[in-house]
Amino acid sequence: MTEKPYWERKTLAEMTREEWEALCDGCGRCCIVTLEDEDEPDVLQETSMRCRLFDAEKRRCSCYAKRTELVPECVELKPSNVASLSFMPKSCAYRRLAEGRGLAPWHPLISGDPSTVEKADIAVPRELTDESDVREKDYWRYVTGERKL
Protein backbone atom coordinates (compact mmCIF):
# COMPACT_ATOMS: atom_id res chain seq x y z
CA MET A 1 0.00 0.00 0.00
CA THR A 2 1.36 3.41 -1.00
CA GLU A 3 1.61 6.04 1.71
CA LYS A 4 -0.58 9.11 1.27
CA PRO A 5 1.22 12.33 0.31
CA TYR A 6 2.22 14.58 3.18
CA TRP A 7 -0.54 17.15 2.53
CA GLU A 8 -3.10 14.41 3.12
CA ARG A 9 -1.34 12.95 6.18
CA LYS A 10 -0.29 16.07 8.04
CA THR A 11 -2.01 19.16 9.31
CA LEU A 12 -0.62 22.47 8.11
CA ALA A 13 1.01 22.94 11.52
CA GLU A 14 2.79 19.57 11.29
CA MET A 15 4.45 20.31 7.95
CA THR A 16 8.13 21.10 7.66
CA ARG A 17 9.14 24.47 6.23
CA GLU A 18 10.00 22.77 2.92
CA GLU A 19 6.64 20.98 2.76
CA TRP A 20 4.81 24.21 3.58
CA GLU A 21 6.63 26.19 0.90
CA ALA A 22 6.01 23.44 -1.69
CA LEU A 23 2.26 23.99 -1.26
CA CYS A 24 2.52 27.30 -3.08
CA ASP A 25 1.36 26.66 -6.64
CA GLY A 26 2.99 29.84 -7.98
CA CYS A 27 -0.23 31.39 -9.27
CA GLY A 28 0.65 34.87 -7.97
CA ARG A 29 -2.93 35.66 -6.93
CA CYS A 30 -1.86 36.66 -3.43
CA CYS A 31 0.48 39.25 -4.97
CA ILE A 32 -2.25 41.13 -6.83
CA VAL A 33 -3.03 44.47 -5.24
CA THR A 34 -6.53 44.36 -3.79
CA LEU A 35 -8.49 47.27 -2.40
CA GLU A 36 -10.93 47.18 0.44
CA ASP A 37 -14.22 48.92 -0.13
CA GLU A 38 -15.01 51.08 2.90
CA ASP A 39 -18.73 50.93 2.11
CA GLU A 40 -18.74 47.15 1.62
CA PRO A 41 -16.32 45.50 4.07
CA ASP A 42 -17.10 42.02 2.70
CA VAL A 43 -15.96 42.95 -0.81
CA LEU A 44 -12.45 43.14 -2.21
CA GLN A 45 -11.73 44.98 -5.40
CA GLU A 46 -9.15 43.19 -7.50
CA THR A 47 -6.84 45.24 -9.67
CA SER A 48 -4.52 44.70 -12.60
CA MET A 49 -1.59 45.77 -10.40
CA ARG A 50 1.01 43.55 -8.81
CA CYS A 51 3.09 44.01 -5.69
CA ARG A 52 6.32 45.82 -6.44
CA LEU A 53 8.30 42.73 -5.33
CA PHE A 54 6.44 40.29 -7.57
CA ASP A 55 8.53 38.78 -10.37
CA ALA A 56 5.94 38.37 -13.14
CA GLU A 57 8.03 35.95 -15.18
CA LYS A 58 8.67 33.54 -12.32
CA ARG A 59 5.37 34.33 -10.56
CA ARG A 60 7.26 34.51 -7.28
CA CYS A 61 8.33 37.18 -4.85
CA SER A 62 11.68 38.65 -5.87
CA CYS A 63 12.68 39.19 -2.24
CA TYR A 64 10.73 36.52 -0.40
CA ALA A 65 12.88 36.42 2.75
CA LYS A 66 12.49 40.17 3.38
CA ARG A 67 9.02 40.71 1.89
CA THR A 68 7.27 41.67 5.13
CA GLU A 69 10.03 44.17 5.95
CA LEU A 70 9.97 45.75 2.50
CA VAL A 71 6.18 45.60 2.08
CA PRO A 72 4.64 45.98 5.56
CA GLU A 73 1.14 45.23 4.25
CA CYS A 74 2.31 41.84 2.94
CA VAL A 75 0.65 39.14 5.02
CA GLU A 76 2.85 36.20 5.92
CA LEU A 77 0.91 32.98 5.61
CA LYS A 78 1.33 30.67 8.58
CA PRO A 79 -0.49 27.56 9.75
CA SER A 80 -1.86 29.67 12.60
CA ASN A 81 -3.45 32.35 10.40
CA VAL A 82 -4.25 30.82 7.02
CA ALA A 83 -7.75 29.67 7.99
CA SER A 84 -8.72 33.22 8.97
CA LEU A 85 -7.43 34.97 5.85
CA SER A 86 -10.64 35.28 3.88
CA PHE A 87 -8.98 37.56 1.31
CA MET A 88 -6.93 34.64 -0.01
CA PRO A 89 -8.29 33.27 -3.27
CA LYS A 90 -10.47 30.17 -2.96
CA SER A 91 -8.04 28.41 -5.31
CA CYS A 92 -5.09 28.88 -2.91
CA ALA A 93 -3.65 25.53 -1.75
CA TYR A 94 -3.17 26.83 1.78
CA ARG A 95 -6.78 27.94 2.00
CA ARG A 96 -8.06 24.75 0.34
CA LEU A 97 -6.22 22.56 2.84
CA ALA A 98 -7.26 24.73 5.80
CA GLU A 99 -10.87 24.31 4.66
CA GLY A 100 -10.46 20.55 4.19
CA ARG A 101 -10.88 20.64 0.39
CA GLY A 102 -7.58 19.07 -0.65
CA LEU A 103 -5.38 20.20 -3.51
CA ALA A 104 -6.89 20.97 -6.90
CA PRO A 105 -6.12 18.64 -9.84
CA TRP A 106 -4.09 21.38 -11.55
CA HIS A 107 -1.79 21.87 -8.54
CA PRO A 108 1.83 20.98 -9.45
CA LEU A 109 2.06 18.53 -6.52
CA ILE A 110 -0.86 16.61 -8.06
CA SER A 111 -0.19 17.11 -11.77
CA GLY A 112 3.60 16.92 -11.57
CA ASP A 113 3.75 19.87 -13.95
CA PRO A 114 4.02 23.54 -12.86
CA SER A 115 2.48 24.68 -16.17
CA THR A 116 -0.91 23.21 -15.22
CA VAL A 117 -1.54 26.27 -13.04
CA GLU A 118 -1.38 28.44 -16.13
CA LYS A 119 -3.25 25.93 -18.31
CA ALA A 120 -6.09 25.87 -15.75
CA ASP A 121 -6.27 29.69 -15.99
CA ILE A 122 -5.44 30.07 -12.29
CA ALA A 123 -2.15 31.95 -12.72
CA VAL A 124 -2.21 35.74 -12.90
CA PRO A 125 -1.32 37.37 -16.22
CA ARG A 126 2.32 38.29 -16.63
CA GLU A 127 1.37 41.75 -17.92
CA LEU A 128 0.23 43.22 -14.61
CA THR A 129 1.16 46.82 -13.80
CA ASP A 130 3.76 47.30 -11.07
CA GLU A 131 2.08 49.11 -8.17
CA SER A 132 5.12 51.36 -7.76
CA ASP A 133 4.35 52.83 -11.20
CA VAL A 134 0.92 54.06 -10.05
CA ARG A 135 0.04 56.84 -7.63
CA GLU A 136 -2.09 55.49 -4.80
CA LYS A 137 -4.88 57.98 -5.58
CA ASP A 138 -5.12 56.38 -9.06
CA TYR A 139 -5.41 52.76 -7.88
CA TRP A 140 -9.15 52.80 -8.52
CA ARG A 141 -8.43 53.11 -12.25
CA TYR A 142 -6.93 49.60 -12.18
CA VAL A 143 -9.91 47.82 -10.58
CA THR A 144 -10.82 44.80 -12.70
CA GLY A 145 -13.52 43.22 -10.59
CA GLU A 146 -14.86 42.44 -7.17
CA ARG A 147 -14.68 39.38 -5.00
CA LYS A 148 -16.95 38.64 -2.05
CA LEU A 149 -15.19 37.41 1.07
pLDDT tens digit sequence for 82-132: 988 888 888 999 999 999 999 999 999 999 999 999 999 999 999 999 999
Which pLDDT belongs to residue 25? Answer: 93
- pTM for the full model? 0.87
Average pLDDT over residues 41-50: 90
- What confidence tier does 138 reach under pLDDT thresholds 50, 70, 90? very high
Question: What is residue 122's DSSP assignment?
Answer: -
pLDDT (0 to 100) of residue 1: 63
pLDDT the model gives residue 41: 79
Position 97 scores a pLDDT of: 96
Output the CA–CA distances (angstroms, integers) from residue 82 to 11, 38, 75, 99, 131, in the order listed.
12, 23, 10, 10, 25
Q: How would you label 6-31 residue by residue, b for 16+ Cβ within 10 Å and e otherwise? A: bbeeeebeebeeeebeebbbbbbbbb
- List the single range of 16-20, 31-35, 41-45, 62-66 with lowest mean pLDDT: 41-45
- Residue 148: pLDDT band with limits 50, 70, 90: confident
Model confidence over 50-70: pLDDT tens digits?
999 999 888 899 999 999 999
Distance CA 139, CA 118 (A): 26
